[in-house]
Amino acid sequence: MSDSFQRDLLRGSLDLMVLSVLADEPQYGYSIQKQIRDVSQGRVDLKAGTLYPLLHRLESDKLIRSKWDDSTGRRRKWYELTKAGHNRLRSQAREWHSYVECIGQLLTPILPKLPKPA
Amino acid sequence: MSDSFQRDLLRGSLDLMVLSVLADEPQYGYSIQKQIRDVSQGRVDLKAGTLYPLLHRLESDKLIRSKWDDSTGRRRKWYELTKAGHNRLRSQAREWHSYVECIGQLLTPILPKLPKPA
DNA sequence: TCCCATGTGTAGTTCAGCTATACATAGGGC
DNA sequence: GCCCTATGTATAGCTGAACTACACATGGGA
């Protein structure tokens, strides 16, 4: 997940990925990074310089809210979805599916010519 | 297809869309724009200021080649895929499907909660 | 002691899609 | 004749998000 094609793919869907990871329970930055890496089998490995500014942006947009936890040696900033964040997640998920279908329409004639992926 | 979410989605997949439109036969800029608009039911409406620089970039990367047609009153620049362009189309289509599956994994727990789209 | 994983953060670069603008032709309505 | 729209290509400059590179700190294993 390091070439420019996939970097640009991220650009459109990274907000959606992070919001979906936060859908069920609060998480902190590092755990979000790990979960996305695990779910994607290592194909999506967010850099810290990508993730933290993103979280700050989502928070300033009031889609997530944060709370520091200093109870352990490791300071962690926990994030959870706001009401607006849940709404955004739903709408972006719908748009994502709509868009994927769009591209699918264009690729359908190409597909039969594609050799089976390993 | 005008908000910032979809603008960023485009960024990752626009090359793929244009290459796929050119897969079967040569086309010129305006016809590419129309075909993408039609296939997407108007959801993806490329601006001229997006399409033409993109075509120039694809050509400078030698993924497509062009030929002017001045035989009619309307000057048209026809584009067709090069060998490298066909290869790029195949590889990007594979990456696209892989990436879509990735996001799908993350969204799967969300899906049952999504109200049916109209 | 050293190194790595953990944990958060910022400064500056890159680059693609955007807006705005420019130019030109064909054809229909007034 | 004139205007407006669709057609057709093109460039200059703006914006914004993911990137690289760096900074700082703790915990635990070798």
- DSSP reduced 3-state for A33: helix
B40/B79 Cα distance (integer angstroms): 21
What Å value separates CA B34 and C1' C30? 29
| Partner-chain contact B9 A13, CB within 8 Å | yes
CA distance A33 to A50: 10
In chain B, domain spans? 4-111
| CATH value of A4-107 in 1.10.10.10, 3.30.2350.10, 3.30.70.100, 3.30.450.60 | 1.10.10.10
Give pLDDT tens digits for A84-116. 999 999 999 999 999 999 899 888 877 666 665
Looking at per-residue pLDDT, the higher value among B4 and A77 belongs to A77
Spell out which residues of chain B touch residue A93, defining contact as CB-CB under 8 Å. Answer: 107, 110-111, 114
State the amino acid at position B6 in one-letter form.
Answer: Q
Can you tell me the distance from the alpha carbon of A98 to that of B4, in angstroms, rounded to the nearest whole number?
15
User: Shortest CB distance from A20 goes to which of B9, B99, B107?
Assistant: B107
Q: What is the DSSP letter of B110?
A: T
Q: Tell me whether residues B90 and A17 touch, CB distance under 8 A.
A: no
**Considering only the top CATH level, what class is B4-111?**
mainly alpha
Percent of chain B with pLDDT over 90: 63
Buried (b) or exposed (e) across A79-105, using 16+ Cβ within 10 A?
A: bebbeebbebbbebbebbbbbbebbee
Residue with the larger pLDDT of the pair A65 and B116: A65
Tokens 């640009």, located at residue: A8
Average pLDDT, chain A: 88
